[in-house]
């Protein structure tokens, strides 16, 4: 396959408060340094890109010393908090703006979807904008014509394709723009958070298309999103950007754990206390394939594998599990008796039970209301996403802690 994109020591500096790169005096200082063959004096100054802190310099490094490679056919997820520098990086990769320092090397054509309706003329119809957008991406009119029907069908905007785009909703513009970019066969497709504007049905369709063009056609996708379930299901690798710097790169699951701060408490906790009658050995959290992970879609089963040691059977003793959310609310409890010398227990939290949110696990070995043998508090943390339930159409509406077990009688 080979490397199709490479960023080497890429940095981007901005001046705070004003549009432009600096004052006249700064521009003169830069010019004087340049004609003497000296380094730009303002590259040595500049605050770290942390939006939560007070500015101590009039310059800020939106990105600092970014280095990574992307293989052909790879889907790279780029994640980070708001203001971390993700969109700035995509603008550099798309050549919307240039880096202050460093180089970006690419092979082939790049198509970008950075903002809703970018490249669309509001007075032109959807059909005319397909040709316009295709031309911007470097396609000939004949090439666009061969794909036109497929683009229109995929966008779901056929009824309005000869209506001026200014009458489109933001979601319709995203549908059409994505359809153009995905079907005109760029070597690298750059997607920002714009897919969040689309509905759940279109997001699922778009993710499927991105998988097809990567796996089937060998093209490369760079994908920025705050929808971590989409990143998890789509991307083959991910990078985490914090304060303008890449702090972690690699396996998507590991990067997401780093992003949420779960990696410090994951997978294995040991508490050996052989002087106790009953004590914990270890706890892991796995999916149905026995893969240890901490991020699940709401439809996935979550398995808590609990290993204990029993030196002496205690009558009425039990293993108690408490699941709490990050607000400290008790979501549910589960308990099983310890009436034999059994060392391993699995609690399966069935998919479709927990709604989206962050959760933690407490474990107890006890005789209820009488004696506690051992306990593990905040032993594991995990996160549940929801990308496909009936409630996704309500966007950020909080429908409750669990989906519930109920029946509509009509």
User: What pLDDT does 18 receive?
Assistant: 42
Max CA pair span of the chain: 87
What is the helix (H) or strand (E) element at residue 182, kind and residue range?
A: helix 170-183
**250 and 327 housed in the same domain:** no
Tell me whether residue 71 is in a domain.
Answer: yes
Provide the 3-class DSSP secondary structure of residue 273.
coil
Q: How far apart are CA 259 and CA 294, in angstroms?
A: 12
Q: How far apart are CA 387 and CA 364, in angstroms?
A: 33
**254 and 279 housed in the same domain:** no
Rg value, the chain, Cα: 26
**287 and 343 housed in the same domain:** yes
User: What pLDDT does 293 receive?
Assistant: 84
Kindly report the CA angle at 236 between 234 and 240, in degrees rounded to 5?
Answer: 95
**105 and 217 housed in the same domain:** yes
Please name which of 5, 62, 68 lies closest in space to residue 250, comparing C-alpha atoms.
68
Q: In this predicted model, what pLDDT tens digit does every residue of 313-329 receive, in sequence order? A: 888 899 999 999 877 78
Are 114 and 194 within 8 A, CB to CB?
A: yes
**249 and 372 housed in the same domain:** no
End-to-end CA distance of the chain: 57
Please name which of 157, 188, 185 lies closest in space to residue 172, comparing C-alpha atoms.
157
Are 63 and 12 within 8 A, CB to CB?
A: yes
Structure-token pair, residue 39: 């380094």
User: What pLDDT does 10 receive?
Assistant: 92
**225 and 255 housed in the same domain:** yes
Please name which of 377, 348, 351 lies closest in space to residue 363, comparing C-alpha atoms.
377
**91 and 190 housed in the same domain:** yes
* Domain end residue (candidates: 234, 260, 286): 260
Which residue is associated with the tokens 């490397």?
3
**81 and 198 housed in the same domain:** yes
pLDDT by residue for the chain (410 residues), tens only, comes to 688 999 999 998 887 544 445 555 556 666 666 677 766 655 554 444 554 455 456 778 889 999 999 998 899 999 888 788 888 898 898 888 888 889 999 988 887 777 656 678 889 999 999 998 888 777 788 888 998 999 999 888 889 999 998 898 878 888 888 888 888 778 888 888 666 656 667 777 787 888 887 877 788 889 888 777 678 778 889 999 988 899 989 888 788 777 776 554 443 444 445 567 888 888 889 899 988 888 888 889 999 999 888 888 888 899 999 999 877 789 999 999 997 778 899 999 999 899 888 898 989 999 988 888 888 887 888 888 887 777 776 666 677 888 877 788 88
**78 and 196 housed in the same domain:** yes
Are 91 and 190 within 8 A, CB to CB?
A: no
**285 and 325 housed in the same domain:** yes
Domain span holding position 328: 270-394
Q: How far apart are CA 203 and CA 128, in angstroms?
A: 24
User: What pLDDT does 364 receive?
Assistant: 92
Tell me whether residue 382 is in a domain.
Answer: yes
Tell me whether residue 343 is in a domain.
Answer: yes
- Work out how many domains the chain is built from and give that number: 2
Structure-token pair, residue 260: 């949420």
What global pTM score does this model have? 0.62
What CATH number is attached to the domain comprising 361?
Answer: 2.70.50.60
* Domain end residue (candidates: 195, 228, 260): 260
**223 and 195 housed in the same domain:** yes
């Amino acid at each position: 396959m080979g490397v199709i994109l490479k960023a080497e020591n890429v940095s981007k500096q901005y001046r705070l408060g004003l549009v432009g790169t600096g004052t006249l005096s700064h521009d003169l200082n830069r010019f004087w340094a340049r004609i003497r063959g000296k380094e730009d004096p303002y590259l040595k100054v500049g605050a770290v890109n942390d939006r939560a802190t007070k500015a101590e310099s009039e310059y800020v490094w939106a990105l600092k010393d970014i280095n990574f490679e992307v293989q052909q056919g790879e889907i790279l997820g780029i994640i980070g908090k708001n203001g971390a520098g993700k969109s700035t990086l995509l603008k550099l990769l798309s050549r919307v703006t240039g880096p202050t320092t460093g180089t970006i090397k690419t092979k082939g054509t790049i198509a970008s979807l950075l903002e809703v309706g970018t490249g669309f003329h509001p007075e032109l119809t959807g059909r005319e904008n397909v040709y316009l957008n295709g031309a911007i991406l470097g396609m000939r009119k004949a090439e666009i014509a061969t794909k036109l029907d497929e683009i229109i069908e995929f966008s779901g905007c056929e009824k309005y394709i000869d209506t001026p785009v200014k009458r489109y909703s933001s979601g319709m513009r995203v549908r059409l723009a994505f359809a153009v970019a995905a079907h005109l066969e760029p070597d690298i497709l750059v997607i920002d958070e714009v897919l969040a504007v689309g509905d759940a049905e279109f997001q699922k369709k778009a993710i499927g298309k991105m998988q097809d063009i990567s796996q089937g056609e060998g093209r490369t996708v760079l994908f920025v999103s705050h929808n971590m379930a989409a990143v998890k299901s789509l991307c083959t690798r991910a990078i985490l950007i914090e304060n303008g710097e890449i702090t972690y790169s690699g396996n998507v699951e590991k990067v997401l754990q780093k992003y949420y701060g779960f990696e410090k408490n994951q997978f294995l906790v040991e508490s050996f206390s052989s002087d106790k009658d009953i004590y914990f050995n270890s706890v892991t959290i796995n999916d149905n394939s026995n893969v240890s992970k901490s991020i699940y879609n709401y439809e996935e089963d979550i398995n808590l594998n609990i290993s204990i040691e029993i030196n002496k059977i205690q009558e009425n003793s039990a293993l108690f599990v408490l699941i709490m959310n990050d607000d400290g609310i008790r979501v549910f409890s589960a308990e099983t008796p310890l009436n034999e010398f059994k060392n391993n227990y699995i609690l399966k939290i069935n998919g479709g039970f927990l709604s989206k949110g962050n959760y933690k696990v407490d474990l107890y070995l006890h005789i209820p209301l009488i004696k506690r043998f051992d306990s593990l508090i905040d032993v594991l943390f995990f996160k549940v996403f929801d990308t496909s339930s009936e409630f996704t159409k309500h966007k950020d509406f909080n429908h409750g802690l669990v989906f519930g077990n109920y029946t509509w009688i009509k």
